[in-house]
Structure 1
């Protein structure tokens, strides 16, 4: 397993003309794994059929937004936790803050310790 990367040049943020430029590693276009591929692999490493796996994953896709829209954090054990976060406009007084001040809601994923440890095994390969 390896993550392919390419080298890109970036200027300093907020500096007119970019200032002094530096080179950074950046991931290249990634292969997308869809629900069918994921369910096939899950079925191959468990006693659950591919059809049952798809059904469970589809249920998860349906239920996660429902719980998140109710303000819940969702812990999936050794996988990690999904949490809703809001972004709002700053106001001069606490009384001025209301629902219209909220501009967006985002979902963050916080991987578990086990998940993070598994990610430490990644290798990198320069994209030619």
Structure 2
């Protein structure tokens, strides 16, 4: 198996006057949903699909609770999760207020398991996938 990519032309956002260059862009080829993942994992061990589903669901709830408390969640060789904050700046520390916080995001840092996987990827070029266009809204007559 290999990671599929297409070649796309892009401008340098820092130097818009420069000529565009061509870059690789990963192309998704399917997806793995939660139910399929639980089935696949259950086929690799002695736990049932229901056991796997309950375990993963429980882990997600625990991760969510830990992140709400501001904890870094270290998930072994898989990686770690942490809440990051987006905010506007203030001229001085005293002028900073919670109102300058624009939102939060979850930062994931892959661990050895995923980092090592990235080192062994194979790549194969495919045609650029078409952009899906939303259907125009119907107007009543």
TM-score (norm 1): 0.91
SS in 1 for 2:7: strand
Write out aligned runs for 1:17-96 (5 A).
Answer: 19-96=18-95
SS in 2 for 1:61: helix
Larger radius of gyration: 2
Q: What is the alpha-carbon distance in structure 2 between the residues aligned to residue 121 and residue 101 of structure 1?
A: 43
If each structure's strand is expressed as a fraction of its own residues, which one has the higher value? Answer: 1
Q: What is the alpha-carbon distance in structure 1 between the residues aligned to residue 64 and residue 113 of structure 2?
A: 24
Q: What is the alpha-carbon distance in structure 1 between the residues aligned to residue 68 and residue 29 of structure 2?
A: 29
- The CA deviation string for residues 69-99 of structure 1, in whole angstroms up to 9 with x for no partner, is 2111101111111111111111001011121
Number of residue pairs matched? 127
Q: Show structure 1 runs of 5+ residues with no match.
A: none
Q: What is the alpha-carbon distance in structure 2 between the residues aligned to residue 80 and residue 43 of structure 1?
A: 22
Q: What is the alpha-carbon distance in structure 2 between the residues aligned to residue 114 and residue 27 of structure 1?
A: 21
Equivalent position of 1:116 in the other structure: 115
Root mean square deviation, CA, Å: 1.5
- The CA deviation string for residues 44-93 of structure 1, in whole angstroms up to 9 with x for no partner, is 11111111001111122222222112111101111111111111111001
**Poorly superposed stretches of 4+, deviation over 6 Å:** none
TM-score (norm 2): 0.83
Q: What is the alpha-carbon distance in structure 1 between the residues aligned to residue 31 and residue 51 of structure 2?
A: 22
Equivalent position of 1:12 in the other structure: 12
Equivalent position of 1:125 in the other structure: 124
